[in-house]
Amino acid sequence: MGQLTDARIRDWQERAGIAPARGRRAQTLERLSQLAFELIKVIELERAGIRDGDGHWYGTDPVGGILHDLVAAERDDLHATVSGSDVPVTEAADV
């Protein structure tokens, strides 16, 4: 976005009392977002029957693998939050 738009959003967030995620939480949310996107892509291949190119998956089930990674990422984030180790990676990072 443009600098003016970003400044307006920051101003509105401050007035509304909204604080964007930072540090580890922001990293976890980004990882969850990426994994969810990967899951959507694999689901679309599965629905279309494309899979590995011949209608079959070889090796492990990619849907199950990505779901496992999603759950693990959320569990790691929850553990960090509960244990109090959810400290920002860098204070200056606008993640």
pLDDT score at 93 = 40
Residue 2 has pLDDT above 80, yes or no: yes
Q: How far apart are alpha carbons 78 and 29 in whole angstroms?
A: 12
Number of domains in the chain: 1
Alpha helices in the chain (DSSP H): 3-16, 23-48, 62-83
46 close to 64: Cβ distance less than 8 angstroms: no
Query: How large is the average pLDDT for residues 48-62?
Result: 71
Mean pLDDT of the chain: 80
User: Does residue 94 lie in a domain region?
Assistant: no
Q: Is residue 60 part of a domain?
A: yes
- Residue range 9-33: mean pLDDT, rounded: 89
In a domain, 1, yes or no: no
- Report yes or no on 43 lying in a domain: yes
Its domain, for residue 45, covers: 21-83
C-alpha–C-alpha distance, residues 20 and 45, integer Å: 34
- The answer to whether residue 53 is domain-embedded is yes
